[in-house]
Amino acid sequence: MSTKENKSTELKKTSQNKEETDPYYKEKAQNHAEMVSWIASAEKELADLRLRKTLLEDDFTELLKEYRRLIVTDAAISTVAKTSLLAYLTYELLKPLNDATLKQTDSYNVWEAKYFSIKYQLTDKRDLALSFQMNVIDTRFESKFMSLFLLDLQEMSVTVDERQVLELIRLWYSEKIFSRNQLTLINYDLNRLLANFKQLGFTVSASLLDNTRALSVDLESDFPLETNILDDIFITAMDATEYDFDKIGQRYYQVKLNQEQNVYIQSKKNRTHLFIDSNNRRRSILDFFTHYPFFVPLIVRE
């Protein structure tokens, strides 16, 4: 390296050292760093605002795409954007209830409808769980949220928790938390939601709740077949001209109902087995038991 080049290099180093120690240049560098940080924050906030604007404009199909892109992958988005996306998507799922009093509550993930409240939650697998808290007929009672529907928004499938469906029957019949008429209306609205899920492209698994299918179902209770309950069913059947009661085997009985529906009752291993055949009449288990409540004690105890 020539003498001239050495001097040039030394001058640059000297100038650089002065800038590093000069308060003016130090402040200038700090201001530059702050400006870069502010720009990055502003760009991030602007991107978030654009996302939230897009979500406001999206229909269910587009919201579903955003759910898969952002929620399923656990993308880094703001809490506001995430809660907005879930709220907009859930509204589309609950849309049939908007003809009554569907509205958001003070809790960000709870909607309120005419006969129940609905809470939505993400599972560890990023499925959407819908839980329902039924309105009570007496404020002395309190109902809890029941997880009824699990929606897989990747496979587009809906699973119904049938244990909770039977729990609804117990709460009505034994706990008397809500009336028979309420249960009928609850059944109607829940089935409107199932119909909406299907219309949106979900496959809904067969369940005791579905009123679009005929009942041909085996039920097993944890309780033994008690004589007094069987006697009450016999008396009810004999008092009604459209019903009949037959013993068709050892601890095995057939109850013939109207519209050629049949219920078979059997005692096995100290448990009660029930087979319900609605003769191709489409109805849910809730609809069946509210019409024939004298069968409920076979599967529910106070």
The pLDDT tens digits for 262-275 are 999 999 989 999 99
- Domain boundaries, position 232: 214-284+291-302
Q: What angle do CA 211, 217, 222 make, to 5 degrees?
A: 120
Q: What angle do CA 137, 141, 145 make, to 5 degrees?
A: 95
pLDDT score for 24: 77
Whether residue 150 is contained in a domain is answered as: no
- Here the tokens at position 88 are 């907009």
Reported pTM? 0.84
pLDDT digits (tens, 9 = 90+) for 147-160: 999 999 999 999 99
Is residue 125 over pLDDT 60? Answer: yes
pLDDT digits (tens, 9 = 90+) for 81-111: 899 999 999 999 999 998 878 999 999 999 9
Q: What are the C-alpha distances in Å from 52 to residues 86, 150, 183? A: 12, 26, 38
Q: Which residues contact 131 (CB under 8 A, 6 or more apart)?
A: 118, 119, 120, 121, 145, 146, 147, 148
Whether residue 47 is contained in a domain is answered as: no
CATH number, domain containing residue 274: 3.30.160
Is residue 13 over pLDDT 70? Answer: no
How far is 6 from 8, CA to CA, in rounded Å? 5
How confident is the prediction for the chain on average, in pLDDT?
A: 89
Whether residue 240 is contained in a domain is answered as: yes
Whether residue 242 is contained in a domain is answered as: yes
Whether residue 199 is contained in a domain is answered as: no
Whether residue 252 is contained in a domain is answered as: yes
Helix and strand tally (H, E) in the chain?
8, 12
Whether residue 209 is contained in a domain is answered as: no
Q: What is the tally of structural domains in the chain?
A: 1
Amino acid at 126: R
Question: What order do you get walking across the sheet with 146-152 strand by strand?
Answer: 103-104, 110-112, 116-122, 128-134, 146-152, 157-160, 203-204
How far is 287 from 207, CA to CA, in rounded Å? 13
Comparing 99 with 120, the larger pLDDT belongs to 120
Is residue 277 over pLDDT 80? Answer: yes
Whether residue 134 is contained in a domain is answered as: no
Q: Which residues contact 142 (CB under 8 A, 6 or more apart)?
A: 136
The shares of helix, strand and coil residues in the chain, as percent rounded to the nearest 5, are 50, 25, 30
